């Protein structure tokens, strides 16, 4: 599409704001890491994990992929995402604060790139050496 997308109606805008408020009220302690996966022209694809807890204190880790398409003047025109939410124990959290300098430019771990204690080793072990995914 060339030019700006049409402006949303007032009702659409209010629904979007309500959706975001509910999401932010639900995803407490939100911590995110994103990695650029690919880009070409006016499109960017990223992969990410994020962690948060709900009002009851239950922790979640979400993995996903997202792609964005931009207009010629740099405004986001389209966004699509696929996200998988997995319940975790608070002790299994891996994302704390800003991304450390040592991790910048390093590929994000896949959901099964964990040591037996649940930490990311920083390496990509051969599939046969990877610990099994934990299930709850």
The answer to whether the CB of 64 falls within 8 A of the CB of 81 is yes
Bigger pLDDT: 82 or 116?
Answer: 82
Q: pLDDT at residue 128 above 80? A: no
Q: What is the pLDDT of residue 2?
A: 54
Question: Against a cut of 0.75, is the pTM above it?
Answer: no
Q: pLDDT at residue 93 above 50? A: yes
Helix (H, G, I), strand (E, B) or coil at 35: strand
Residues 33-79 have pLDDT tens digits of 888 999 999 999 999 999 999 999 999 999 999 999 999 999 998 99
What is the torsion angle, in degrees rounded to the nearest 10, for the CA atoms of residue 106, residue 87, residue 64 and residue 96? -30
Local structure of residue 118 (DSSP, 8 states) = S
Q: What is the pLDDT of residue 73?
A: 93
Non-local CB neighbours of 74 within 8 Å, separated by 6+ positions: none
Q: What is the pLDDT of residue 59?
A: 95
Domain ranges (residues) in the chain: 29-129
Non-local CB neighbours of 65 within 8 Å, separated by 6+ positions: 37, 45, 46, 47, 48, 81, 82
Q: What is the pLDDT of residue 132?
A: 40
CATH annotation of 29-129: 3.10.450.50
Distances (CA, A) of 29 to 87, 95, 136: 15, 10, 21
Helix (H, G, I), strand (E, B) or coil at 68: strand
**DSSP one-letter string for 72-89:** TTS-EEEEEEEEEEEEE-
Distance separating the N- and C-terminal Cα atoms of the chain: 45
């Amino acid at each position: 599409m060339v030019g700006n997308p049409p402006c949303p109606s007032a009702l659409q805008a209010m629904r979007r704001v309500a959706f975001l408020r509910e999401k932010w009220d639900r995803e407490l302690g939100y911590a995110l890491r994103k990695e650029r996966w690919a880009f070409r022209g006016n499109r960017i694809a990223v992969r990410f994990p994020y962690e948060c807890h709900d009002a009851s204190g239950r922790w979640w880790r979400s993995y996903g992929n997202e792609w964005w398409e931009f207009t010629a003047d740099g405004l986001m025109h389209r966004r699509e995402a696929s996200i998988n939410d997995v319940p975790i124990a608070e002790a299994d959290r891996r994302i704390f604060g800003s991304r450390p300098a040592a991790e910048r430019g390093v590929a994000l771990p896949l959901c099964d790139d964990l040591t037996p204690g649940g930490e990311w080793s920083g390496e990509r072990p051969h599939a046969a050496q990877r610990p099994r995914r934990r299930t709850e």
